[in-house]
Structures are given as C-alpha cells and as structure tokens.
Amino acid sequence: MIDVLAIAPAAFTGVNRAVYRELVRRGWSVEIVIPTEMTFSGGGTRAPQPATAQDPPLHLLAPTPGNKRLASFQGLWRLLEARRPRLVLLDGDPNSRTAVEAGAWARLRGARLVCQSCENLTRRLVPSARRAGWRGAAGSVVTGALGVLARPNVDHVFVISADGERVLREQGYRRVSKIPLGFDPALFRPDPALREATRARLGLTEVTVAYFGRVAESKGVHLLVAALGGLKHRPFQLLLDAFGTYREPYEERLTGLLTEHGLDDRVVRFDASHSEMPAYMNAADVVALPSLSTPTWKEQYGRVAPEAMACGCAVVAARSGALPELVGDGGVIVPEGDVPALRAAIEALMLDPARRQALGVVAAARAHAQLDLTRQADLMERVFQDLLA
C-alpha cells in the first residue's frame, strides 16, 4: 500500500513532477501514472521525459483513444489493485472517464479521490452552445453525464483560479479549494550576477522587453509585436522565446510581423529548457503576457507570470483569465486585446527604471509568499491529511 497514486498526464514532462518530489521529501509515499506517449499540436508523437533520481516511481500506461474527457489509461484498474493507494490524485478534470473509473475503485477499496482541474469555462448547455455551436452543446451534455457518474466519488477538487472555483461549484462540487501551480523557489529568484552574465552573453544592452512561453495566437504575441512596432523611437530589445518543443505554424506569421514592423534588428531569440529559464527571466526588464481569449479558451493559469515575478521582473499582463489574480499588485494589468494600452504600459516602464525596480521587488515578494512550490504542497498536504485522518 502507498499513500498517493497520482494519475498525471502533465507529469509527462519533468517540471510537472516537482510537486510530487516535494511531497516525497515531506515523507509521503507517492507514485505517478504518465502516458507512454503524447501527440502535440505542432505535430509528432513524443515519449515522456526520462525519470530522474529524485522522481517518484513512474508507471507508463498507454492512453486509450478519444478526447481528454472520454480517454483513460489501459490497465489503470489493475495498477490501482496492485499498488492500493490510500488516496488517488487525478491531475485532470473530475468530469471525465478517468475520474469515473478511479472514483469507482476508490469507493470499492475505501480510498479517497482528489482531482485537480484547470477548467475555467462554464459547461452549461446554452453558454457552451453559444461559444462553440453544436460541438459545444454536445460537449456540455457529455461533461454533465460524466459529472453525474463521477461526483459522488470525488472527495475534493483542487482548482487553479477563481473562475475554476466558481465553475466547479456551479457543477455541484462542494469541496473545492484553490492552489497555485508552484514554481521551484531555488531556481526562480532574483540573481544579479546571473542577470549580468546572461545579458553579456546575449548582447542585451538596452531596456529588454521579453516574451516567454508558447508561441501561439491565443498568447497574443502578435499584439506585443504591434505594440512594440509603435515604440521604435525608444531604445529597446525584444527577448523572444522560440519555444521549439511545441513549435506551431503561427510562428511563421509572427516572423513576418516582426519584419513588417521593422523589429528584426531588435529581436534576440533563444530556446531553453525549463531549468534554464531563470537566466533569461533575470536578464529581462519587462515581461509581457498579452494573452487573448477565444470563444473556447481563456488563460487558465499562466505559469510564466509567477516565475517571472519570482525573478524580480516587472510584468505587464492582459486582463485574461487567471492572469490578474496571479499578478495582483506585482505588475500592470491592461485590457485584453488593447494594443495602445499595452504599448503605453510598456513605454511607461521603459522610461521609469525606479518603477520597474519597485514593481520587481513587490512581484518577487508576492510570488515567493503565495505562488511557489512549497505553498502548493502545503495546501495539498493539508487536504490529504484531513481526508486520511
């Protein structure tokens, strides 16, 4: 018997195993289920990142065909029977086939089921149909049916935003609490020496505006390019994450926009692993997060925001999804999709180094107090202890 079996597709990548490593460090026996392979939007199928010596034991199970809600893992019930966890942690929505299966096993064996949901859009029939037509309506029906089956066996749901808490309570889940997706505070922190070395290596000599994360239309990078295109009279450089792991066709459009706005000679591109990101975040002066909601998506969390804040960056973020509640008083919030407002906020910070520094100090304090890995583990551990008492 073990304490926790985490069913965690996101732990396919090493950074998303960090909270489980922290739980092991605190004395919990934890094992993780991850998929044998994943297909990414840029094309191609990839194997999971290898386990490290610090990772809990990994169980690689083949995913069943289907969308995220209707898919599960082949052999999951057999694994649950073999490992007999006291608590199953599903890093996924409770309105899903996996939650139904894991919940049925948990009730049969006297275990507990906790889910962690990124959902932040209501799945009621009429709003879903307005967002996505008949597909949205069908998805709403499927979500509701799975929820009816899963809900009696779900003991607690973790969410990562205020919208998520509202939506899950709306769906009938009563035991819901918000937790951060914690960053490693040993990696993400202000480091003046690292800043100086990285800026020298990259040739960053001007005020540096940076974009980190997935290069996709919903992330609004084209809005940032348009905003900076109106600031060519100011001396600045743009540090741009190539994010080669999940490359998308949108990047070709972005390359054309940089040329169109005359910014080619201002751009410094890089591609780095997650553990290398603190060097680039420390090198930046202003980090922009101009996310743009679509009818079927809005920013669920925005991991870049707390990581950049933890490194002491001044953040300018759109009022999209969870970004305002993450940034708080540690940055500047602008209306979503408003290029002039984004331009004005960035220009004001370019011209005021004292304000950039002051915002960075507040941001780092907020991130390390409320949003790091230890805070996430504290909140999870408290719920686990209550359920297993």
pLDDT digits (tens, 9 = 90+) for 207-226: 999 999 988 999 999 999 99
CA distance readout (Å), 180 to 7, 58, 204, 301? 18, 23, 32, 9
Angle formed at CA 107 by CA 106 and CA 111, multiple of 5 degrees: 45
Please state, in angstroms and rounded to a whole number, the distance separating the CA atoms of residues 388 and 313. 40
- Domain boundaries, position 197: 192-370
Digit-coded pLDDT (tens) for 23-32: 999 999 999 9
Identify whether residues 143 and 166 lie together within a single domain.
yes
| 153, amino acid identity | N
Percent of the chain with pLDDT over 70: 93
Q: Are residues 90 and 232 in the same domain?
A: no
Q: Each residue of 275-326: pLDDT tens digit?
A: 999 999 999 999 999 999 998 899 999 999 999 999 999 999 999 999 999 9
Asked if 171 and 95 touch (Cβ cutoff 8 Å), the reply is yes
Q: Is residue 187 part of a domain?
A: no
Residues 293 and 197 in one domain: yes
Q: Say whether both 327 and 228 belong to one domain.
A: yes
- The whole-model pTM stands at 0.92
Q: Report the C-alpha gap between 358 and 345 in whole angstroms.
A: 15
pLDDT of residue 69: 85
Say whether both 313 and 351 belong to one domain. yes
Please give the backbone phi and psi of residue 197, each rounded to the nearest 5 degrees, phi first. Answer: -65, -40
Residue 42 has pLDDT above 80, yes or no: no
3-state secondary structure 92-105: CCCCCHHHHHHHHH
What mean pLDDT, rounded, does the chain reach? 93
The structure tokens listed for 107 are 């009730």
N- to C-terminal Cα separation, the chain: 16
d(CA 89, CA 185) in angstroms, rounded, equals: 24
Question: Are 144 and 157 in a shared domain?
Answer: yes
Q: Is 211 among the domain residues? A: yes
- Burial-class residue 203 by CB neighbours within 10 Å (0-12, 13-18, 19+): exposed
Specify the number of domains making up the chain: 2
Q: Per-residue pLDDT tens for 128-148?
A: 555 556 565 566 778 889 999
What's residue 138's pLDDT? 64
Does 264 fall in a domain?
Answer: yes
Q: Per-residue pLDDT for 243 more than 60?
A: no
Is residue 166 domain-shared with residue 197, that is, in the same domain? no
Q: What average pLDDT score do residues 51-70 get?
A: 92
Strands of the sheet containing 314-318, edge to edge, are 267-270, 236-241, 207-211, 286-289, 314-318, 331-334
384 within some domain: yes
Higher per-residue pLDDT: 7 or 124:
7
User: Residue 54: beta bridge partners?
Assistant: none
Q: What is the pLDDT of residues 83-112, one digit of tens each?
A: 999 999 999 999 999 999 999 999 999 999
- Both 124 and 200 in one domain: the answer is no
- From CA 150, how far away is CA 133, in angstroms rounded? 26
Q: Shortest CA distance to 283 belongs to which of 350, 194, 363, 183?
A: 194
pLDDT of 368:
98
Q: What is the pLDDT of residue 296?
A: 86
If asked whether residues 309 and 266 sit together in one domain, one would say: yes
In a domain, 157, yes or no: yes
223/127 same-domain check: no
Query: Quick check: helix, strand or coil at residue 334?
Result: strand
The answer to whether residues 336 and 251 belong to one domain is: yes
- How many other β-carbons are positioned within 10 Å of the β-carbon of residue 281? 27
Cα–Cα distance between 327 and 367 in angstroms, integer? 9
The rounded distance, in Å, linking the Cα atoms of 49 and 77 is 24
Nearest alpha-carbon partner for 378 in 185, 150, 167: 185
Question: Does 167 share its domain with 268?
Answer: no
Q: What is the CATH number of the domain that holds 103?
A: 3.40.50.2000
pLDDT band at 167 (very low <50, low <70, confident <90, very high): very high
Quote the DSSP letter at residue 194.
H
Closest-CA residue to 258 (of 228, 289, 287, 220):
228
Integer Cα distance of 171 and 154 in angstroms: 12
